[in-house]
Amino acid sequence: MRRIGVLTSGGDSPGMNAAVMAVAKAARYHGMSLIGIKRGYNGTLCRSHHVEDDMVELDLDTILDIADQPGTYLRTARCLDFLRPEMRAHAVSNIHEMGIEGIVVIGGDGSYHGAMELCDLGIPCVGIPGTIDNDLAYTEMTLGYDTAVNSCVDDIRAIRATSRSHDRPAVVEVMGRHCGDIALKAAAGSGAEICIVPEVSWSIQEVADRLARLIDVGNPRATVVVAEGAWDSMQPMDWHRYLRENGVRVHDDDPITTAMLAKILKFKTKAEARPTVLGYTQRGRTPSAYDSWFAFEAGSLAVNLLRNGIGNQVIGIKDGRVYYLPISMALQQKREFNLSLYNLINSL
């Protein structure tokens, strides 16, 4: 291959730039030119006024400067148009026109589906799991997950310091979509006493009882870490009515939030529980050493696979080593939630 492309797609994750740098280094080493495709699959559709907003030749010097930066230099987006076959055909003709012979796709499971479609249309693709969520079963860690967990642990430590000063509990929401892994590791890493995740059914009453027990035994400043997807596994409770009875104005169609949960816990335990949603701070950090290492090895392996004519693969970590397997096999694997760690956090 003489020319390859690279794109970042879906939610950004720390380490995406480092992976692009590794791809750029490996491409140069093997004498290939590299095209950066902008805003995920959108770039392949070439709809911008200026071509460099869609596809641009990447010069290694620029990439070296951004390798340690958080975010993604190539920009990222979700591209619903790519679900339409006629748009994918249009993308393939643009890719051919640019002389791109293979693509490194850095993103999560949605991006992998796009990569499989491109492979079926004759464009070899290799995926790198760029998402903080750690929701891909075939890899021990996704790229950005370690940084996101470290970011949460730092922030929860800060919250616990002020909780301690005021002797009051904290309820902290972390990201992860439908996956509780960020919550689990962040809770374990920060010494949080209660963890709520989408994988395990829970009730507000049970959390309130546990918090009340902690307060009883002399810990009035416990931390509850809640995964953003945990509302899906919450047992039904008429919390709208409960809050109204306690003088809080809520509409029947208001969804439950971390702030509401903190209020309910406050009424049930009489402790001043305070909410914090960590949000995008988890995605915008400088990549950890672990993520930078993974990005480096994954990026260079991706280029090696493409130059050897091996497409339709994704890269992951198994037994601490970087490896690859076919995309379809990777997507078939079922995630196994670490229930014993969950039980440990919630029981000790």
Among 71, 176, 220, 299, binds ligand F6P (CB under 6 A): 176
* Side-chain half-sphere exposure of 148, counting CA atoms within 13 A: 32
* Strand partners of residue 321: 318
Q: How far is the CB of 179 from ligand F6P (least distance, A)?
A: 8
Q: Which residue lies nearer to ligand F6P by CB, 82 or 102? A: 82
Q: Is 326 helix (H, G, I), strand (E, B) or coil?
A: strand
Q: Does 72 bind ligand F6P (CB under 6 A)?
A: no
Q: Which stretch binds ligand F6P (CB under 6 A): 42-50, 172-180, 238-246, 297-305?
A: 172-180
Interface size with ligand F6P, residues (CB under 6 A):
10
Angle, alpha carbons 189-193-198 (nearest 5°):
80
Give DSSP secondary structure letters for 120-187: HTT--EEEEEB-TT---TTSSS-BTHHHHHHHHHHHHHHHHHHHHHHT--EEEEE--TT--HHHHHHH
- Please say if 133 is a catalytic residue: yes
313-333 core/surface letters (b: 16 or more CB in 10 A; e: else):
bbbbbeeeebebbbbeebbee
Q: How far is the CB of 131 from ligand F6P (least distance, A)?
A: 5
Q: Does 177 bind ligand F6P (CB under 6 A)?
A: yes
Q: Which residue lies nearer to ligand F6P by CB, 24 or 82? A: 82
The arrangement of strands across the sheet holding 194-196 comes to 194-196, 223-227, 170-174, 274-277
Among 131, 134, 288, 312, binds ligand F6P (CB under 6 A): 131
Q: How far is the CB of 111 from ligand F6P (least distance, A)?
A: 10
Q: Does 283 bind ligand F6P (CB under 6 A)?
A: yes
Among 7, 9, 11, 100, binds ligand F6P (CB under 6 A): 11
Q: How far is the CB of 322 from ligand F6P (least distance, A)?
A: 22
Instruction: Look at residues 147, 50, 44, 131 and name the one whose alpha carbon lies nearest to residue 92.
Output: 44
Among 133, 173, 181, 199, binds ligand F6P (CB under 6 A): 133
Which residues form the interface with ligand F6P (CB under 6 A)?
11, 108, 131-133, 175-177, 228, 283
